[in-house]
Structure 1
Amino acid sequence: MADEGKSPEEGTKKYSWFYKDERMHCCTGETSTCTVSKLWEVRQLTTFHDVDLQQATREINAILDGVRKRNRYQDRKLCFIQVKDRHFLVWSTEGLVGPNDDDRTIRKMLRLKAK
């Protein structure tokens, strides 16, 4: 999944979610419906992100950091998934390969010969 420390320009990969075998999964996709569970904070307050919103953002990120630290399973990450018009907080696993991954990753996973 996209790295929490990257800017939007750097994190151009999109991730989609799916559910299978009682687990939520995120893998590369054409839509961006699975995102890292951290909210952006601003360098400077604006009319659209004022002091109240920045304080709420810090508090939400602190809560999410606490939840992440209590995670007992290394193979899962805390993510927001988009379902219809709302976000849903889930534990998600990654590492699945799909048709939107790069050629090298797909060839390696499927054990295909080089071109």
Structure 2
Amino acid sequence: MSDKTVVKAAKNVVESGESIARNIWLAGLGLYSRSLEEAQQLNEKTSNVFDELVERGKEVEVQAKECIGRNTEKASEEVEAGMNDLFYRLSGVDREKLERMDEKIDKLTKAVEKLAAAE
């Protein structure tokens, strides 16, 4: 082999190595770019899913509040009915009857106060 052939072969090897190194470098840049795009897409999807979950949560919250409100009213009515029943059993006086008597006493008190003021 002549010196020119060896130099030419060496240049080909160096150029080939540079080409391979450049391709590896470009492949790395391409991988970085693709990973960045996929991360951005994933971020958008995640954001969309989060927003969708927030909206669903708002709907469930409204339904839960309505259900709690109904159950609270029902529980209050049941407690009041139980208290009225207990009061009736202990005193023998119906709670509604007692409230009517209270109203009558209030009216009588006002009438007495008017009479006392007129004298």
TM-score using structure 2 length: 0.24
Query: Normalized per residue, which structure has more helix?
Result: 2
Per chain length, whose mean CA-contact separation is higher, i.e. which structure has more relative contact order (CA < 8 Å, sep 6+)?
A: 1
TM-score using structure 1 length: 0.25
Query: Normalized per residue, which structure has more strand?
Result: 1
| CA radius of gyration, larger in | 2
